[in-house]
A and B are shown apart, each in its own frame.
Chain A
Amino acid sequence: MNIDPLISAYLADQETYKSGNVIIEEGSKGDWVYIVLEGQVKVTKRTSVGLLTMDVLKKGAIFGEMALFGKALQARSASVIAADGNARVGVLDTRQLMAEYESLSLELRSVIKALITGLAESNGKAAALVVAANKKGHKN
């Protein structure tokens, strides 16, 4: 299996999850950052109309980055679940990543943080809109 050398330098561990197994649990604490190496993972959010799939991530996709760089986001904002067969994920070295991040100026870090908190907010907003649309569907 070929892993991008850019990524392999930060790879601390590799884990395999069976379809449906939870890699990150929404609401839990943790700051591990992952990358999809093989297979697919689903990003889901709990809503009043059930579990909502927000995104499907494929090989090369990073996830869990919000907790590390978002800082304000203490708890995981979404769950990540292995989808469609086994998913092989790489765990990135948090300390190494953090060191790179902290080498940036305060301004650049706050720009990245703004982008990440913005995404977390957008995810929440999109989920709320889907829930609203579904509720209407039930009524009619």
Chain B
Amino acid sequence: MANNPLEAPPIVSLSYKKGDLIIKEGDYGVSIYKILEGKVSVYREAEGEEILLGTLGVGDIFGERTFLNRAADTRSASVRALEDTKVEVWHTARLSREYDEMPPIIKYITDQVLSRSNRMNNLIVQLATKEQKEKANRAKEDPLASKRRFYRKKVDLFCQYQPAGAPSKFNLDGRIKDISLDGLAMKVTRRNTVGVSHATGDIFVVNTVLPNKKTVELEAEVVTIQKGEIPEELDLSMNITDIEPGSRKSLGFFLMP
């Protein structure tokens, strides 16, 4: 039946769960999809970021670019289901024949629209990537930005710490008394200083578990050391010098007002 051009090929419909990838940028494929139910997002990836090109709903078509652009054989963008989505997959063999035979004027116009559309999408990706970079730079240049958004919180968290680069047997216990994205105050027992330097400028790796059960590991530099309320204790105030993105995110969430 598939060999008979007069016979319409059976229409295939596919179902996707919310979050499923339907088309992956860079993959091979010429099928055209029509949305029967649901909603999808079309995006391109640039420098690790997803740049949204558009969202499509019931009745809309996607995947037509690889079909229309004979020079390209890979998908120019990814498509993901935003909700449970059902699509109709079109057999493009017959459509392809019709496309090759369509009036030259229509082909002339379609080719122009296609190249303009590609150009415009490249521009969107370029502008959006630039915008994201500038955002990241602004955050870097303006250290107060993070303080504006996140409070310093008073806590009483058990933590373990050790001099940066030391073997793990040097693990010492302490208590974090307050913490922000930039720094923390830690209370330690004077006994910890036996054999381990606790001086201004020392860098410690600090591990703790936040009340929201998230583990945080960071590196912090000792800025001041003061006697605690009781002689057996020392109060360290520290600046965070390094925090891994996952930990930073967890801490950020915890500190959000």
Contacts and interface: CB of A to CB of B under 8 A. Distances in A.
Query: Is chain B a partner of chain A in the same complex?
Result: yes
Interface of A: 6-7, 9-10, 33, 54-55, 61-62, 65, 69, 97, 100-101, 103-105, 107-108, 110-112, 114-116, 118-119, 121-123, 125-126, 129-130, 132-133, 136
B32 A119 contact: no
Interface residues of B, number: 37
Contacts of A33: 109
Nearest to A113: B61
Which label, helix, strand, loop or mixed, suits the secondary structure of the A interface? Answer: helix
A125 B124 contact: yes
Interface of B: 32, 34, 53-54, 60-62, 64-65, 67-68, 90, 95, 98-99, 102-106, 108-110, 112-114, 116-117, 120-121, 123-124, 127-128, 130-131, 134
Contact of B117 (A69, A108, A119, A133): A119
Interface core residue of B64, B95, B105 (most chain A CB under 10 Å) = B105
B62 to A, nearest CB: 7
Contacts of B64: 111, 114-115
B120 A110 contact: no
Which label, helix, strand, loop or mixed, suits the secondary structure of the B interface? Answer: helix
Contact of B120 (A6, A126, A132): A126
B112 A61 contact: yes
19 contacts: A33-B109, A54-B120, A62-B112, A100-B105, A105-B98, A107-B95, A108-B95, A110-B34, A112-B110, A112-B113, A114-B62, A114-B64, A118-B54, A123-B120, A129-B131, A130-B127, A133-B127, A133-B130, A133-B131
Given A122-B53, A125-B124, A126-B123, A114 B61 contact: yes
A129 B129 CA distance: 11
A122 B128 contact: no
